[in-house]
Amino acid sequence: MNGEVYVKASSLVSQLGGKGSYDAASGTYAYQPVNEVAQAVEKTSASVVAIIGRYSNDASSGIKGSEDRFQLAHGTGVVWKSDGWIITNAHVVKDLKNMVVVTYDGKQYTGTAKYTDEESDLALVKIEAKNLSPAKFADNMNVQVGETVVAIGTPISFALRNSVTVGVVSGIDRSVHSTYRLLQTDAAINPGNSGGALLNLRGEVIGINSLKFAAVGVESLGFSIPSDTVMYVMDQFMKYGKVKRPYLGFTVEESWAALVGLPTDDPLKISYVNDKAAAAGIHKGDVLYSIDDVNVKTLVDLNERLKAYLPGDKVKLMLQSDGDLVQKEITLTEEN
Give the residue extent of every domain in the chain: 1-34, 41-126, 140-240, 246-334
Distance of CA 275 to the CA centre of its chain: 36
Catalytic pick from 91, 175, 224, 290? 91
Average pLDDT over residues 166-174: 92
In sequence order, what DSSP letters do the residues of 293-327 get, joined into one string? TEE--SHHHHHHHHTT--TT-EEEEEEEETTEEEE
Residues with Cβ within 8 Å of 93's Cβ and at least 6 positions away in sequence, in order, are 51, 53, 75, 99, 111, 113, 116, 123, 125
Residue 73 pairs in a beta bridge with 53
CB 214 within 8 A of CB 194: no
Catalytic pick from 178, 194, 227, 290? 194
pTM, entire model: 0.85
C-alpha pair distances (Å), 3 with each of 6, 326:
10, 69
Q: What is the pLDDT of residues 87-117, one digit of tens each?
A: 999 999 998 999 999 999 999 999 999 999 9
Q: What is the pLDDT of residues 308-322, one digit of tens each?
A: 999 999 999 999 999
- Greater confidence (188 vs 263) lies with 188
Residues 19, 15: Cα–Cα separation, whole Å: 11
Per-residue model confidence (pLDDT) at position 259: 77
Distance of CA 30 to the CA centre of its chain: 41
Fold identical between 41-126 and 140-240? yes
Topology classification of domain 246-334: Pdz3 Domain (2.30.42)
Residues 264, 257: Cα–Cα separation, whole Å: 6
In sequence order, what DSSP letters do the residues of 101-118 get, joined into one string? EE-TTS-EEE-EEEEEET
Residues 249, 159: Cα–Cα separation, whole Å: 49
pLDDT of 185 higher than 50: yes
Alpha helices in 147-251 (DSSP H): 227-240
Question: Domain 41-126 is classified in which CATH homologous superfamily?
Answer: Trypsin-like serine proteases (2.40.10.10)
Residues 237, 4: Cα–Cα separation, whole Å: 60
CB 213 within 8 A of CB 189: no
User: How does the average pLDDT of the chain come out, rounded?
Assistant: 87
Catalytic, 121? Answer yes
Catalytic pick from 121, 228, 286, 301? 121
pLDDT of 191 higher than 90: no
Q: What is the pLDDT of residues 216-228, one digit of tens each?
A: 566 678 899 999 9
Q: Say whether domain 140-240 belongs to CATH 2.40.10.10.
A: yes
Closest residue by Cα to residue 180 from 249, 145, 231, 215: 231
Per-residue model confidence (pLDDT) at position 189: 86
Distance of CA 261 to the CA centre of its chain: 21
Share above pLDDT 90 across residues of the chain, in percent, rounded to a whole number: 65
Per-residue model confidence (pLDDT) at position 56: 47
CB 312 within 8 A of CB 331: yes
Catalytic, 194? Answer yes
Strand, coil or helix: 176: coil
CA angle, corner 277, sides to 272 and 280, nearest 5? 140
- Greater confidence (34 vs 69) lies with 34
pLDDT tier for residue 145 given thresholds of 50, 70 and 90? very high
Residues 36, 202: Cα–Cα separation, whole Å: 8
Per-residue model confidence (pLDDT) at position 248: 97
Q: Among 9-13, 43-47, 140-144, where is mean pLDDT lowest?
A: 9-13
Alpha helices in the chain (DSSP H): 9-16, 36-44, 90-93, 227-240, 256-259, 275-279, 299-306
> Euclidean distance between the first and final Cα of the chain, in Å?
74
Residues 136, 156: Cα–Cα separation, whole Å: 26
